Amino acid sequence: MKINCFALMLALLIPISSMHKIDIADLNHIRSEEEVIDLNPAADEKNEKIDFIDEEKIEDPIDENTNIEGEKIDIIKFNVNGLNLKAGISSEEVLRVKKFFKLMGYTEIIEDYYFDNEFKDIVMKYQMDKGLVSDGIIGPNTYAKINEDMEINKINICYEEMGFNADIPMGQWIIINKSNNTLYHLNGNEVINKYPVATGKSPLHTPEGKFSIVIKSINPAWGGAGIHKPVRGGAPNNPLGKRWLGLSIKGGGTYGIHGNAAPQSIGTYASLGCVRMFNEDVENLYDLIQYGTPVWIGNEFKLNEFGKIRSVYGKDKISNYCEYF
């Protein structure tokens, strides 16, 4: 009877043991295909190679708007309400726009400040491609489209940096660069502001050299320059506009920095020798400038000879930052 009981128990255990072996085999089979279950952790710790991430070797993703030092850099966009650029204008902004068109593949023309008829044709081609009015004038709509393309293509067009080759005046002083028709208001070596201006019709019309402010006048009268009828001060048609900053040439009443009655002339070579500004710009400058303020006038080459200016051009390219050399 004991033997029979033992045989019965053995008969019952054999199927259970067989089932257990089948389950293990099945699970190992699942693991080999799916690798989802670890039945022997100790063995895997010895044999399985685990690739750990080395955090020190991870490189942060490059922000498209950072420089090589990782500093956040905003793309230097054009002021959509700035000076309208057209044929005859000479300006820093003309140079920047030419660099933009060169990077966009529209031109290989020489990069300079002057907007000539050849460049007008390039602007018209761009305007036509972008569905704009093709008039060859860079105004608010064209500026906005250029800014959009700069953002899309990560194009940054640097402004010039200004350096100096000689001792600079203490306090406030002025540089008028006839090459780009720009007036720079400085305090020591810091540029406080810069303004577009109009200068003489020919290179000889606007004197070059070092001068100073000797007269300040609000709503000056215009004498007609000997060929026109005089115009009273404050009149809307007064060519001198609302302010006069007389230069130390012939007593201060012949050549000066002043407003205008023809804002479309700003940026061009149009005057009889004076330096024209937008009326709101000269009003702002007038309030900041004192008698005796030094004024240096010349084209870029002359200013270099005087030792007062050295323009440093940026490496403008499709990139996320501006370099200077």
Domain CATH code at residue 111: 1.10.101.10
Averaged pLDDT of the chain: 79
Mean pLDDT of 22-40: 39
183 and 302 share one domain: yes
Residue 312 domain-assigned (yes or no): no
255 and 288 share one domain: yes
197 and 133 share one domain: no
173 and 156 share one domain: no
169 and 299 share one domain: yes
* Matching residue, tokens 């072996």: 21
Per-residue model confidence (pLDDT) at position 154: 87
Per-residue model confidence (pLDDT) at position 62: 40
149 and 174 share one domain: no
Whether 216 shows a pLDDT value over 90: the answer reads yes
Judge if pTM exceeds 0.95. Answer: no
CATH code where residue 197 lies:
2.40.440.10
Per-residue model confidence (pLDDT) at position 310: 60
Q: Is the torsion defined by CA of 83, 88, 94, 95 positive or negative?
A: negative
| 25 vs 134, more confident | 134
96 and 141 share one domain: yes
Whether 26 shows a pLDDT value over 60: the answer reads no
Whether 138 shows a pLDDT value over 90: the answer reads yes
| 117 vs 12, more confident | 117
CA distance 109 to 27: 74
Give backbone dihedrals phi and psi of 103, rounded to 5 degrees, phi first: -65, -30
Per-residue model confidence (pLDDT) at position 152: 92
Per-residue model confidence (pLDDT) at position 73: 56
What is the residue type of 284?
A: N
Whether 137 shows a pLDDT value over 90: the answer reads yes
Active site residues: 258, 274
169 and 303 share one domain: yes
Per-residue model confidence (pLDDT) at position 56: 41
219 and 145 share one domain: no
Mean pLDDT of 164-171: 75
Segments forming the whole domain that contains residue 157:
67-162+319-323
Mean pLDDT of 175-202: 93
Q: pLDDT category, 325, cuts 50, 70, 90?
A: very low
Per-residue model confidence (pLDDT) at position 55: 38
136 and 90 share one domain: yes
9 and 100 share one domain: no
Mean pLDDT of 223-229: 85
- The total number of structural domains in the chain stands at 3
Residue 39 domain-assigned (yes or no): yes
Residue 62 domain-assigned (yes or no): no
Share of the chain above pLDDT 70, in %: 70
Q: What is the pLDDT of residues 265-313, one digit of tens each?
A: 999 999 999 999 999 999 999 999 999 999 999 998 898 888 766 654 4
